[in-house]
């Protein structure tokens, strides 16, 4: 089957794989000047269900993941299996949205991308492409392709506007063969669920998808998806970057949910209430409502949750902005986040906050004998503590230098390996013995023909029959 869309002189062969309405929705939103360009460059648009791997070796054919352009017959072909997989991959990695919406999004995204790419071809160089293997990465081909594609005009702007416009329209009633792929994917997910190959988040997304199907896709988002979109945004990244605790995630989830529900109620925005077979209540939103409120809900969460929470952290970070070991300024961003936002360093955090509340300046706590604060990343790797004697730090540095060579193979030990050994509590007696040996000045001991040291990680495994488990234990 083929047809000609409005304003287009090229034919569109759907091969009964896509619905005509899918194409018309997109073509109707493309500007006249872009259509005129395409009319000069394209003879046919084609669709196929599965890409043939041998396509990429043909001369005169430029192949991308989801489409190709054949310069021999000016045919632009789209590969629907790859388009589907690309949409599915994106859906898997997002916190919200219906799978079918992402499949439709992938289709119009790739369709627009293909048209935009072709519209940038230099028509004077197209004849030369017929005899070239355009998928070869040789320098000659790359130079030709750089000349072939004209980097001018408003194609990027057009692309962004088109994507935005198309994302908010209703999903076409039929997606053709993409609907078949969709049903096959749901069957595949069902098998993964039965075999317990799905994570908790994947199970939730799968069951939400089934409910959205039951609701005839009128409601494409759950309330929980809207909440997760807000609290898993970049604004809250530092809260969850180092902290895997479900407690803190639930705390922010509950706070965000309360704020969003209050906003929706104040503006009389109705949610679809659905009770599943287990008696659990789910709330759903239409795609249009979701798109309308998501930005406002995010702003509300940032204003009401983030600002209050970050106010104390900002003071904490500023107070400990100087490394107490090496004295460098304004370099504790990474370690401040590690200590403040993760339960792993709770003891450190409590001591640091207590000290911050008792004194006006970090210089009051630090002196020539002791250091206290948050070391910079390099010094924190070395000391693995927020406080300590400077004399002990000196011993550590001496230890690292003294035992830097493996006594068995004479190769240099990795610094991180030695630091991990030094701080390993189970090796304390051995470490202290090595420190005593290091400090001995008796020349008679050095006259004995044997070497004392720390085997490198490879020799350690040969001698003890196991890998050094203490390595990276701190992190």
DSSP-derived secondary structure letter, 451: -
Residue 254: per-residue pLDDT: 93
pLDDT digits (tens, 9 = 90+) for 389-444: 999 898 899 899 988 989 888 888 888 888 888 888 888 888 888 888 887 754 44
pLDDT digits (tens, 9 = 90+) for 286-340: 999 999 999 999 999 988 886 666 677 888 888 999 999 998 888 877 888 888 8
13 phi/psi in degrees, rounded to 5: -95, 105
How wide is the angle at C-alpha 80 spanned by C-alphas 77 and 83, nearest 5°?
A: 105
* Per-residue pLDDT, 462: 81
CB 345 within 8 A of CB 339: yes
- pTM for this predicted structure: 0.67
pLDDT of amino acid 9: 94
Q: Are 442 and 428 in contact (CB under 8 A)?
A: no
Tell me how far apart the alpha carbons of residues 256 and 264 are, in angstroms, rounded to a whole number. Answer: 12
What is the pLDDT, as a whole number, of residue 12?
96
For the chain, the 3-state helix, strand and coil shares in percent, each to the nearest 5, are 60, 10, 30
Q: Let me know: does 70 contact 114? Beta carbons within 8 Å.
A: no
| H or E, element range at 257 | helix 246-266
At residue 46, what are phi and psi to the nearest 5 degrees? -130, 160
Q: What is the pLDDT of residue 238?
A: 65
Q: Are strands 281-285 and 370-372 parallel, antiparallel or unpaired?
A: unpaired
> Are the beta carbons of 371 and 323 closer than 8 angstroms?
no
What was the pLDDT predicted at 246? 74
Ramachandran assignment for 362, one of left (phi > 0), alpha (psi -120 to 50 degrees), beta (any other): alpha
Which residues of the chain register pLDDT less than 50?
Answer: 442-444, 446-449, 475
Place of tokens 């046919």: 44
Length of the chain, in residues: 475
DSSP alpha helix (H) spans, 302-442: 307-319, 333-341, 346-358, 377-383, 390-402, 415-423, 428-439
H/E run at residue 234: none
The distance of Cα 161 from the centroid of its chain, to the nearest Å, equals 25
Average pLDDT, the chain: 87
pLDDT score, position 442: 45
Q: What is the pLDDT of residue 475?
A: 46
Which two structure tokens, joined as six digits, stand for 371?
A: 């250091």
Show contacts of 159-166: CB within 8 Å, 24+ apart: 159/112, 159/113, 159/116, 162/26, 162/29, 162/30, 162/108, 162/112, 163/108, 163/109, 163/112, 165/29, 166/25, 166/26, 166/29, 166/105, 166/108, 166/112
C-alpha span between 142 and 380 (Å, rounded): 46
Q: What tokens were used for 466?
A: 């196991």
């Amino acid at each position: 089957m083929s047809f000609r869309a409005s304003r287009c002189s090229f034919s569109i062969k759907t091969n009964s794989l896509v619905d005509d309405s899918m194409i018309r929705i997109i073509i109707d939103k493309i500007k006249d000047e872009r259509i005129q360009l395409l009319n000069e460059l394209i003879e046919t648009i084609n669709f196929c269900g599965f890409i043939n791997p041998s396509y990429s070796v043909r001369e005169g054919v430029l192949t991308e993941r989801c489409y190709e352009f054949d310069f021999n017959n000016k045919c632009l072909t789209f590969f629907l299996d790859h388009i589907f997989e690309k949409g599915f991959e994106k859906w898997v990695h997002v916190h919200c949205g219906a799978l079918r919406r992402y499949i439709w999004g992938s289709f119009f995204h790739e369709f627009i991308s293909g048209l935009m790419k072709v519209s940038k071809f230099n028509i004077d160089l197209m004849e030369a492409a017929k005899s070239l293997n355009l998928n070869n990465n040789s320098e000659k081909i790359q130079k030709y392709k750089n000349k072939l594609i004209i980097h001018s005009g408003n194609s990027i702007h057009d692309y962004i506007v088109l994507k935005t416009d198309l994302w908010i329209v209703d999903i076409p009633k039929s997606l053709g063969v993409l609907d078949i792929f969709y049903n096959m994917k749901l069957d595949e997910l069902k098998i993964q669920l039965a075999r317990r190959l799905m994570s908790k988040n994947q199970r939730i997304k799968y069951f939400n998808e089934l409910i959205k199907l039951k609701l005839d896709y009128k409601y494409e988002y759950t309330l929980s998806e809207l909440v997760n979109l807000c609290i898993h945004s970049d604004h809250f990244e530092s809260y969850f970057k180092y902290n895997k605790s479900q407690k803190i995630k639930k705390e922010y989830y509950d706070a965000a949910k309360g704020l969003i529900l209050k906003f929706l109620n104040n503006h009389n925005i109705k949610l679809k209430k659905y009770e599943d077979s287990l008696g659990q209540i789910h709330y759903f939103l239409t795609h249009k409502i979701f798109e309308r409120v998501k930005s406002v809900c995010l702003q509300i969460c940032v204003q009401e949750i983030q600002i209050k929470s970050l106010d104390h952290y900002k003071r904490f970070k500023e107070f400990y902005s100087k490394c107490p070991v090496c004295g460098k300024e304004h370099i504790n961003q990474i370690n401040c986040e590690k200590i403040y936002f993760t339960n792993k360093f709770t003891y450190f955090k409590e001591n640091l906050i207590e000290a911050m509340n008792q004194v006006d300046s970090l210089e009051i706590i630090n002196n020539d004998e002791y250091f206290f604060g948050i070391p910079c990343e390099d010094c924190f790797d070395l000391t693995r503590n927020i406080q300590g004697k400077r004399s002990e730090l000196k011993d550590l540095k001496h230890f690292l230098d003294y035992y830097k060579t493996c006594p068995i193979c004479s190769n240099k030990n990795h610094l991180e390996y030695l630091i991990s050994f030094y701080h390993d509590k189970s090796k304390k007696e051995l470490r202290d013995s090595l420190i005593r040996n290091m400090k001995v000045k008796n020349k008679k001991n050095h006259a004995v023909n044997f070497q004392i040291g720390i085997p490198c990680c490879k020799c350690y495994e040969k001698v003890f029959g196991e890998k050094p488990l203490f390595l990276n234990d701190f992190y």
